Structure 1
Amino acid sequence: MFDHVTLMTLDSLLKCAFSYQSNCQESSSEYVSAIVELSDLVIDRRFRILHHWDCIYWKTQQGKRFKQALGVVQRFTRDVVQKRRALIAQQGETETQTNAAPQKKKDFVDIILLSKDEDGQGLTDEEIQAEANTFMFAGHDTTASAICWTLYNLARHPHYQEKCRQEVMELMEGRSGDEIEWEDLSNLSFTTMCIKESLRLHPPVQAVTRKYTQDMTLPGDLTVPEGVICLVSLYGTHHNPEVWSNPHEFDPLRFDPANIKSHSSHGFIPFSSGPRNCIGQKFAMAELRVVLALTLLKFRLTLGVNPECSSSSGTVRRLPQLVLRAEGGLWMQLEPLKESCLREPPNK
């Protein structure tokens, strides 16, 4: 699932945030391959102490591969930004000549290209590329992980999968098409509960860091001094039995509105928390609900077996890279649902 879903989330992000038609689901994507290689190399570098020094790392085979993959990513984002800059300039000329109001809403790349500070200065090309790289990488890889693990958890729990499907079917009843509208998202309450429980059980980002800007007193007469960098384990918090009862079980009802009040305010932090939390969390949650709804409307999900693995137990081992993946991938079977089945009452 990871390969297919990663291409889909990249395609979606580029269309929604950059107005860029990549069609990377229909043709091979050098960018996605480079992102995966960079992720692997970053993880590998962490465990090689001598590679922590740039003067050594860039001379190694891994360092040379890193620079090559990084070049692919930078060329890709530079191409996207340059095309959008040219289009904005063209649209500006057209609006000036016709004296017409702009029709298109601004997307992410429009905002970073047009933003100016109090002195009227815009972002430099390097700053724009850095923002674009961050948004594209963080915006598609993490969401792909969240979608895959949610589909996996629903495949493991068919009764929850069916309940989500019925919720979507009731929402779409009487419609000729299968498009999800923005207003529909708030009506997918149980589906959203399943998504949140999956994010708790399998957070795409396992940890974040924060730097203390002042001394912090802790219980037991301990003090964390200013300047220290603290690693906050999102995965550890989500699996802490003092925070969550039966933390390793998939139980969407934890996020029933009636139960939320009993949660710790920072016990569920898949998008981090505070002023430095994830800038794209609303986009990610919207995409998760849309993808899940349309997938369940068309397919029944069951667990698959990795053809390269001799074990048939179906056991999946988590693979903590830059985002949470599965060792050997997440394999599932998708059975197309017949249209007649979708029209049957829920009790049949």
Structure 2
Amino acid sequence: MLIHTLLLVITIAICLHAYFRYCNGGTLLHKLKGPPGIFLFGNILDIFITPEEIFTTQIRWRKTYGDIFKLHGLHYRAVYLYKPEYIEVVLSSTRYIQKGMPYTFLYPWLGEGLLTSAGEKWQHRRKLLTPAFHFLILKKFFVTFCERSQELMKTIERETDNDKTELFPLLSKSTLSIMCETSMGTTPQEDIETLTNKYFKPVHTLSSVIIYRITRLWLYTEFLFRFSKVFKMQNIALKSLNNFTTQIIQYRRKSRNDMPVPVAFGEESSDVYGKKAKLAMLDMLLDEEKNGRIDEKGIREEVDTFMFEGHDTTATALCFVIMSLANEQEIQDKAREEMLDIFGDSQRTPTIEDLSKMKYLECCIKESLRLYPSVHFMARLLTEDVKVDDNIIPANTICNFNVFDIHRNPDVFPDPEVFIPERFLPENCANRHPYAYIPFSAGPRNCIGQKFAMMELKTVISSLLRKFHMKAITKPEDLVFMPDLVLRTRDPVYVKFCKRTDVN
């Protein structure tokens, strides 16, 4: 009986292997280069490694197998694209906007919000939310950027007595406050410890659960995942985040009942940087709910999506810009000189027009986003065969884009590991392929909030340069990166803040 069972299992395994290997998709995928796989299970064991190893292994595979390579295991297929011309084929088309694994792991948290949805639902949400990031709306939020930046400067001033300051916790509270007050129309009253417990810790827990699932193919199946140790961790974190989101929505509903909500593109306030005509994204969603164009679940999906994407990615970007300027003293001095040209010795509040003059600072931010893209990895689920150069990627394949590695292409960026802001001067990037640099993605699914993010980054960094000198503690060679929903490092990132002696 045991022999018969064993023979049956072997026969089934051989049949499955033959099907996965010689079906149309398997045959097409086999023509691509990639790390060798084992019988039936392909590359499953290749990704059953630590987060640090996953990060470096992807880069090693690209160096070994070139601009396009494959991974496979059972019925799962994945292809990595590296060359800008290859990337453009997928990201520029409205035919390839669907997201599969690992985005499906986000459904319990973000549902089918703008980040994870596809098809008509994505198109509807994108059209609905785009006005919330119109320049006229961003102008009305600018006062919040300035106020929160000044609060951050006061916090940093207290840090100048310390030998070093850990950046991410400091910055993430500020970006979360900005996101709450602008797009959500609320002001968090909690202190940093409360916010950490209610939001930051659960987010990091969910991120670790998702990475854990990605490296264990058997947990891709929801049934098996429910029996794993991390499923309970996920549920506890989700409960905390759901409570946080509910609090934000309820607070805004009450505020709307207490005072009238301005119309998005109504009359301009006499004070163009004032708060009178400010419209929150959440207000727009609540108005659409009244009109029957979105329900309570849809509002929660978008609030969760934008609370995460709006604060975490920006905090990460700020962290690496500050670290980079601290390590490049000449570049920091040049950026500081630009602030003196714009503001002189004045400590006046910046204006929108001042931000537009910060050309060199913008180059510094873009170069930091090249080296350290907050969204370091993207993927698309191909629902049809796609021709890329002389290769055909079969339908039902996950197409991966390792943005971190794409931005280090020496054919596009000579000396790719070196921080050189001048790469982004107009004369130096005019002929660069548009899909060689994609920190905010590209094509129809590009980041809806990239202007919001750049305005926030410029406001905070320019305030820092005017008041403080930054000295390096953590160096680029110290960084050990880990895969996460945003770019993370194994160890904290530190700098030393010093008061500028030429500032009154």
State the TM-score bracket (shorter-chain normalisation): 0.7 to 0.9
Provide the rounded CA distance (Å) in 2 between the counterparts of 1:88 and 1:41. 37
Counterpart position of 1:157: 328
C-alpha RMSD of matched pairs (Å): 2.5
Using the alignment, how far apart are the partners of 1:33 and 1:116 within structure 2? 31
1:299–1:336 contact (8 Å) kept in structure 2: yes
Q: 1:202 to 1:135 in 2, by over 3 A?
A: same
Q: Which residue of 1 aligns with 2:411?
A: 242
Q: What does residue 327 of structure 1 align with?
A: 490
- For 1:213 and 1:171, the matched residues in 2 are separated by 51
Hey, what's the Cα distance between the residues in 2 that align with 1:174 and 1:156? 25
Question: TM (normalized to structure 1)?
Answer: 0.86
What whole-Å deviation, never above 9, does each CA across 1:276-317 have from its counterpart, x for those lacking one? 111111111111111111111121111226xxxxxx997222
C-alpha spacing 1:19/1:270, structure 2 compared with 1 (3 Å): same
Paired residue secondary structure (2:223): helix
The Cα shift of 1:176 comes to: 4.7
CA distance in 2, matches of 1:38, 1:122: 30
How far residue 146 of structure 1 moved from its aligned partner, in angstroms, is 0.6
Percent identity of equivalent pairs: 30
| Match of residue 293 from structure 1 | 462
Which ranges in structure 1 are unaligned for 5 or more consecutive residues?
A: 96-100, 306-311, 344-348
Aligned amino acid, residue 278 of structure 2? K
TM-score (structure 2 length as normaliser)? 0.61
Letter in 2 for 1:193: C
Correspondence for 2:183:
17
Contact 2:261–2:279 at 8 Å: present in 1 too?
no
Residue range with higher mean Cα deviation, 77-86 or 184-193:
77-86
Partner residue, 2:437: 268
1:40 pairs with 2:208: yes
Does residue 409 of structure 2 align to residue 209 of structure 1? Answer: no
Residue number in structure 2 paired with 1:98 = none
Does structure 2 conserve the Cα–Cα contact (< 8 Å) formed by 1:169 and 1:342? no
* CA distance 1:24–1:329, shift in 2 (3 Å): farther
Whole-Å separation in 2 of the counterparts to 1:82 and 1:110: 12
How far 1:237 moved relative to its partner? 1.4
| Structure 1 residue 259 corresponds to structure 2 residue 428 | yes
Instruction: Report the AA paired with residue 292 of structure 1.
Output: I
Tell which has more relative contact order, 1 or 2 (C-alpha 8 A, sep 6+). 2
State the shift of 1:32 in Å: 1.3
Q: CA deviation at 1:225?
A: 3.7
What SS class does the counterpart of residue 73 from structure 1 fall into?
helix
**CA deviation vs aligned residue, 1:317-340 (integer Å, no higher than 9, x gap):** 2233211122211011111223xx
* Matching of residues 137-176 of structure 1 within 5 Å: 137-173=308-344, 175-176=346-347
Secondary structure of the 1:239 match is coil
Match of 1:309 in 2: none
Question: 1:213 Cα deviation (Å)?
Answer: 5.3
Instruction: Give the one of 451, 473, 484 matched to 1:282.
Output: 451
Whole-Å Cα distance in 2 between the matches of residues 329 and 66 of structure 1? 24
Deviation digits for residues 135-194 of structure 1 (CA, Å, limit 9, x no counterpart)? 0001111111111011111111011011111211222226453x2222211111000000
Counterpart Cα distance in 2 of 1:342 and 1:176:
8
User: Matched residue of 1:115: which SS?
Assistant: helix
Greater Cα offset, 162-171 or 149-158: 162-171
Q: More displaced, 13-22 or 47-56?
A: 47-56
Cα distance in 2 between the residues matched to 1:295 and 1:126 = 39
Q: Structure 1 counterpart of 2:177, which letter?
A: D
Structure index of larger Rg: 2
3-state SS in 1 of match to 2:183: helix
Contact 2:262–2:277 (Cα < 8 Å) also in 1: no
- Give runs of aligned pairs for residues 38-187 of structure 1, distance below 5 A: 38-92=206-260, 103-115=276-288, 120-173=291-344, 175-177=346-348, 179-187=349-357
CA distance in 2, matches of 1:52, 1:210: 17
Taking structure 1 as reference, are residues 144 and 128 closer, same or farther at Cα in structure 2, changes over 3 Å only? same
How many pairs are equivalent? 326
Alpha-carbon deviation of 1:116? Answer: 6.1
Query: 1:7 touches 1:24 (CA, 8 Å); kept in 2?
Result: no
Letter in 2 for 1:206: H
Counterpart amino acid of 1:13? M
Does the aligned pair in 2 maintain the 1:304–1:314 contact within 8 Å? no
Q: Distance in 1 between matches of 2:245 and 2:436?
A: 35
Compute the displacement of 1:211 (Å).
3.2
CA distance in structure 2 between the aligned counterparts of 1:38 and 1:51, rounded to whole angstroms: 15
Counterpart residue number, 2:401: 232
Q: Residues of 2 paired with 1:257 and 1:108: CA distance?
A: 33
- Distance in 2 of aligned mates of 1:333 and 1:103: 38
Which whole-Å deviations, capped at 9, do the CAs of 1:203-261 have from their partners, x for residues lacking one?
111111123355432222x2224443311221121011222211111110000111111
Q: State the AA in 2 paired with 1:71.
A: K
**Contact 2:261–2:283, Cα closer than 8 Å, also in 1:** no
Cα distance change of structure 1 residues 93 and 3 upon mapping to structure 2, 3 Å threshold: closer
